[in-house]
Structures are given as C-alpha cells and as structure tokens.
Amino acid sequence: GVRALQLLSLLLQTTISSTLALICAMGASAVPGVRRSARLMQELPVAKRERPVTGERPVAKREKRREVPDTKREKAKAFATAAHASTAREASARADGVELIVGCDEAGRGPLAGPVVAAACAFSPGAEPIPGVGDSKSIADEAEREALYEQIVAAPGVVWSARVVSAARVDEVNILMASLEAMRLSIVDVLGASQRRPATALALIDGPFSPWKEGEKYVDFQQPQPPSDVALQVEPIKGGDAKVYCIAAASILAKVTRDRLMRRYAELWPEYGLAEHKGYPTARHVAAIAKHGATAIHRRTFAPLKAQELPPPSADELRQIEAIEAAAQAKEGTP
C-alpha cells in the first residue's frame, strides 16, 4: 500500500511539472485565465524555456539565412550583366582637364604565325558607352566581336588606328619590342588625327610597360615620338583591357583586325587551319608545321621553329605579305 502511494505521488509530480512547462512555453495567452509565474519560469531549465513547441527555428534566424545568399546572387548577377568596361578612369582624367584620352592594346603576342597588331582608340567626351565592350579575350563569339568592332568605329567622334607589325619584324627585334612599336604607331596616329590638336593627352596602356620604354637598351625603340606640341602622359595598367573602357575598345579593334588578317592568310595556306586557331600553337597547328614546313608568316624565333634554323622568307614572299598587311591597316580621324 505504501509503495503504491509513493508511485502515485511521483506520477502526479511528473504530470504537474510537464503541464506547467507546456503552459509556460506556449505563453499565458495560449491558456485563458492562466498567468505565467516568474518564479516558475526561472526554475524551469533554459532549454525548455527557449525551444519553440513547433520545433521551428526563430524567425529572425531564418530571415538572416535567406538574406545572405540573396545578396551574393545580386552581386554576381550585377557583375555578369555589366554593360561595358568602366569609364571611371576616363572621367577622372577629363575632370583633371585632360583633353584627349587614348586607350591602347595589342593582339597576337603568343602565336607562332602572323603579325602582332596594336590599336589605339579615343572617344569624344559625350559619347555613350557601347554595351558589351570589354576585354576581347573574354568575348568568345567571333561574330559578337565583329559587331562590336563595327559599332566602335562608327561611334560619333571616335578617333582610332590599328597598326600591324609583321612576323619578320617580330623575329628581328623580339615580340615585346614589336608590340610596343605597334602601340607607338597607333597612338601617334590618333594624336595626329584629331581635328583640333589637343594640348594635353593621356595614353592608357594595357600591360606593365609604356610604349616609350625608358632605359639605355631601349634608345633605339622610341620612334615615332608623340607630336612635340602635345603634352602626353602615359599610364600602363595591368589588366587594363578588362578595367578601362577605351582600352577594352582598343583590344577589340586589335583582335578583329588581326583575326581578319589570319583568315586572309588561311586562303593562301589552307592546310594550316589559320582561320580557326589564328596562328596560336594548337596541336593541329604544330602538326601542320611538322608535315608541311613553315610559311613566310611563321615566326622563326619562336619554339619549336627556333631549333630548326629556318631561312628567312624570300623577297617576293615579304612583298606579298607587306601588301596584305598594309591593306589591313586602318585609321580613322574625325572629319
């Protein structure tokens, strides 16, 4: 009898304790006429007071978890849909009183065949940026690059130039010096093509080097010089073709000019696949060189051709190439 009374008392205590815990967790409003006891709330274990009955997480935490990925998605979407490279550097220079801002970039430093091409481009201050203008290497669709090229050269007031330096010249002076030479030529074209010669100009260059590279070993690589009546500042920018609008435009002009040339050369030497790889050292290209030998536009100072000690192109071949590349060069000034 005593044992049964003890068990019954224990059962009643457990039931009362569970009921009180449930009432406190649900809140006084959940049970009409019942008020929560502050003392009981203090005596209940913390886990029982804080854990919601439904088992759901607090609303504030759920909302915070949603906000983080939403913010990341918005940033990624804004980056992916950026209309064009930034015009901030050009705007800053104009605010400082610079009259003409020229972007410059090259295409074709790495191929085994064909020339290196540099382009320079200056837009009028009020020109609307062209959607899609960015680093030409990031534009995989050749038709899209061609369309952007046509929009750039048709922009009101644009001044631009594309200069071609042959593979023979690359072999003569090395690819860096040939690239900087093409840049100098295109920049000077733009400075001289403006209807009204600017007193001040800024050349924004893709890469780490000025086309007028300083140092004793570069004294023979300074021509042409900018016009003497133009105060030209040169600013190299690493990765500038992806960051600065006028450099990005120049990168498209240079890339399209060179690609068109390589398609023309593909008509002369169809067995090399130049229209597809544009002279870069793909497996197909290297295999074609091994099978058919080098053409007049192959760079003899580049591996694997360097080890073969090939003779230079003939005079007739050089004249043919010069005519094709001269026709490909284009420059446009403000009427």
Burial of 283 (0-12, 13-18, 19+ CB in 10 A): exposed
Window from 61-70, 86-95, 99-108, 272-281 with minimum mean pLDDT = 61-70
How many whole angstroms separate alpha carbon 202 and alpha carbon 189?
Answer: 14
Assigned token pair, 58: 């607090």
How many other CB atoms sit within 10 Å of the CB of residue 166?
A: 21
User: Given strand 100-107, what is the order of strands in its sheet?
Assistant: 231-237, 200-206, 100-107, 116-122, 159-165, 330-332
**Structure tokens, 262:** 């390589």
Q: What's the pLDDT score for residue 144?
A: 94
Evaluate if residue 161 carries a pLDDT over 70. yes
Q: Mean pLDDT over all residues of the chain? A: 83
Query: Residue 27 class from Cβ within 10 Å (0-12 exposed, 13-18 middle, 19+ buried)?
Result: exposed
Helices (H), 1-87: 2-26, 38-43, 46-50, 59-80
Q: Tell me the two tokens of residue 17.
A: 């304790």
Distance between CA 66 and CA 242 in Å, rounded? 32
Query: Average pLDDT for residues 13-20, to the nearest whole number?
Result: 63
pLDDT value at residue 184: 98
Higher-confidence residue: 22 or 241? 241
Say what the pTM is.
0.74
- Give dist(CA 241, CA 89) in Å, integer: 12
Q: Looking at the predicted structure, is the pLDDT value of residue 210 above 90?
A: yes
